[in-house]
């Protein structure tokens, strides 16, 4: 089995961060989302990964792969224009050698692992196995309808959902999926939908089965989603290790650190309160400030301010005016904001 990871898209809801980096490379809990996806693939014993990306994301994604220590063999394929998940997957088909495959979305953050899905798929001989999870409001999601343990329909945000099982965004396929991807037409929104390809499998008599996710999942498509995933990851790390993690090369003086907090190599913290749920990236600096529930990417700088639920891109700078009041910020790479005076309580 080979894996296919979709890592394209423009990430418009995450601007200005995505003006300078793909959304899949935004760090969440100390690692880019794409890194967690690769970790899940490796845990399944899969070695070959085809990454489908956009022209503007090819360089950063390739650099991330080259700089990483993942014991995986990567092939990077560019999709010139985004026209649906099925179309993106279709670009990977020539690299799958007619065998089974695992499809994952590169901005899908989850816990609980996917090995059980891959194992179930391998043992069942199904045409497809889809990761699903119970949700409180299924009308907001793509959901599956199930009869006698097999999926019989995939429905997009139905007003009267027959189940509360939402489609997570992880799929295991048999070789049959290639024919179904080729058989479908564009949807009403002009895209080739992977759910239409799976429905084609169902309608052709293929066995399509659900596998339920044992943990939580978040599609990191908005700033709120990124911060929510960030907090959940740090919460999990706190349960499994020390609540405060400071790299040996970081400098911390006259500070209060409230876990969970992660401080990376070369960071400098002085006269500040940092945490909880805060990650300070490599080489970042914080002085005379209070920072909570935030992500500071490498090289970023905060001074003389109170910051919460914020994301600062690489080498971004925010210098406050020292007055009390919280700031909620999203700064792209290299942005500089000084003496912000719009305060909220």
Lookup result for tokens 């139905």: 158
Task: Give the separation between CA 128 and CA 207, rounded to whole angstroms.
Answer: 7
DSSP-assigned states of every residue in 282-307: TT-EEES-EEESEEE-TT-EEES-EE
Tell me whether strands 301-303 and 317-320 are parallel, antiparallel or unpaired.
Answer: parallel
| pLDDT confidence of residue 344 | 46
| pLDDT confidence of residue 272 | 97
Mean pLDDT, the chain, as a whole number?
Answer: 91
pTM, entire model: 0.89
Q: What is the mean pLDDT of residues 230-237?
A: 88
| pLDDT confidence of residue 82 | 84
| pLDDT confidence of residue 240 | 61
Out of 228-242, 297-311, 324-338, the most confident range is: 297-311
User: Residue 137 pLDDT more than 70?
Assistant: yes
pLDDT digits (tens, 9 = 90+) for 58-116: 999 999 999 888 999 999 999 988 888 999 999 999 999 999 999 999 988 998 889 99
- Give 238's pLDDT tier (boundaries 50, 70, 90): low
Give me 5's structure tokens: 């990871």
CA 209, 211, 216, 219 dihedral sign is negative
| pLDDT confidence of residue 299 | 96
- Give 239's pLDDT tier (boundaries 50, 70, 90): low
| pLDDT confidence of residue 288 | 96
CA angle 264, 112, 43 (to 5 degrees): 75
Lookup result for tokens 């876990």: 259
């Amino acid at each position: 089995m080979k894996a296919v990871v979709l890592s394209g898209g423009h990430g418009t809801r995450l601007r200005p961060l995505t003006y300078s980096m793909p959304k899949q490379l935004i760090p969440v809990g100390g690692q880019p989302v794409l890194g967690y996806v690769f970790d899940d693939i490796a845990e399944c014993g899969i070695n070959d990964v085809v990454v489908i990306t956009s022209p503007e994301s090819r360089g950063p994604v390739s650099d991330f792969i080259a700089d990483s220590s993942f014991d995986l063999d990567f092939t990077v394929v560019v999709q010139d224009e985004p026209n649906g998940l099925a179309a993106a997957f279709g670009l990977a088909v020539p690299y799958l050698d007619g065998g089974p495959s695992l499809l994952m979305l590169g901005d899908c953050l989850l816990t609980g692992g996917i090995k059980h899905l891959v194992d179930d798929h391998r043992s069942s001989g199904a045409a497809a196995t889809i990761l699903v999870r119970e949700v409180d409001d299924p009308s907001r999601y793509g959901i599956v309808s199930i009869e006698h343990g097999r999926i019989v329909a995939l429905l997009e945000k139905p007003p009267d959902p027959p189940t509360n099982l939402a489609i997570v965004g992880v799929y295991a396929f048999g070789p049959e999926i290639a024919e179904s991807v080729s058989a479908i037409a564009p949807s009403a929104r002009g895209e080739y939908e992977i759910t239409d390809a799976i429905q084609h499998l169902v309608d052709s008599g293929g066995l399509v089965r659900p596998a339920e996710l044992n943990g939580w999942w978040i599609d990191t498509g908005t700033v709120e989603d990124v911060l929510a995933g960030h907090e959940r990851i740090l919460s999990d790390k706190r349960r499994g290790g020390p609540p405060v993690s400071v790299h040996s090369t970081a400098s911390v003086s006259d500070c209060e650190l409230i876990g969970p907090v992660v401080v990376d190599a070369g960071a400098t913290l002085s006269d500040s309160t940092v945490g909880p749920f805060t990650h300070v990236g490599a080489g970042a600096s914080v002085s005379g400030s209070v920072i909570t529930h935030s992500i500071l990417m490498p090289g970023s700088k905060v001074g003389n301010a109170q910051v919460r639920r914020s994301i600062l891109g690489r080498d971004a700078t925010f210098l406050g005016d020292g007055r009390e009041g919280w700031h909620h910020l999203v700064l792209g790479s290299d942005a500089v904001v000084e003496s912000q005076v719009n305060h909220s309580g």
